[in-house]
Structure 1
């Protein structure tokens, strides 16, 4: 933002309005100060247009290897849920 002469979140609001996107000042502030969990394609394309960049320049990605899933061991006890853990049948008694 600073490279484009914008130093406050409020400087970004009119840029969105010019591109037909209406965001509240709180939404723009959150977009500038926090990492958004979701971002619409319209807002992303507007940001790319405003800053004359690609989405790859705006969104930092990092690939990580997932930890392997733990498997059961041969020593683990197998429990048959069909026979060992059954709830007691409910009885309804007239009053």
Structure 2
């Protein structure tokens, strides 16, 4: 069974708790920890759930806010139901095939019209 994983990045909430109002205010604390990112890069991390992020950035953010990783990122996972595709000859198709009756073809010559 396939699983669907969804995650939420809690940087905005942690910024609010720490009294940090804008993503610009994260530039210096991250730079102090060896992470050099532009304001726009930090804004993307803050405003959206990033698809990819370096582990060093995650650890630096945890250090800036003084939290563990599970407080920075939470996730949920659930089973995904897949739709069963119908295949010719499948049991569901048999009643339809039995109900089908071919029509006899009539061939006419042009002179018969």
Give TM-score, length-normalised by structure 2: 0.61
Match of 2:64 among 28, 37, 50: 50
Secondary structure of the residue that 1:60 maps to in structure 2? strand
- Write out aligned runs for 1:59-74 (5 A): 59-73=73-87, 74=90
Q: Which runs of 4+ in 1 moved over 2 A?
A: none
Secondary structure of the residue that 1:28 maps to in structure 2? helix
Say whether residues 1:11 and 2:8 are aligned partners: no
* CA–CA distance in structure 2, aligned partners of residues 62 and 2 of structure 1: 24
* CA–CA distance in structure 1, aligned partners of residues 72 and 37 of structure 2: 19
**Higher CA-based Rg:** 2
Match of 1:34 among 48, 70, 93: 48
Number of aligned residue pairs = 76
**Which protein has greater RCO, CA pairs closer than 8 Å, 6+ apart?**
2
Q: Which runs of 5+ in 1 are unaligned?
A: 77-95
* CA–CA distance in structure 2, aligned partners of residues 34 and 68 of structure 1: 28
Measured on the aligned residues, the alpha-carbon RMSD in Å equals: 1.6
C-alpha distance after superposition, 1:27-51 (max 9, x if no partner): 0111111111111100000011011
Q: Which runs of 5+ in 2 are unaligned?
A: 1-14, 95-113
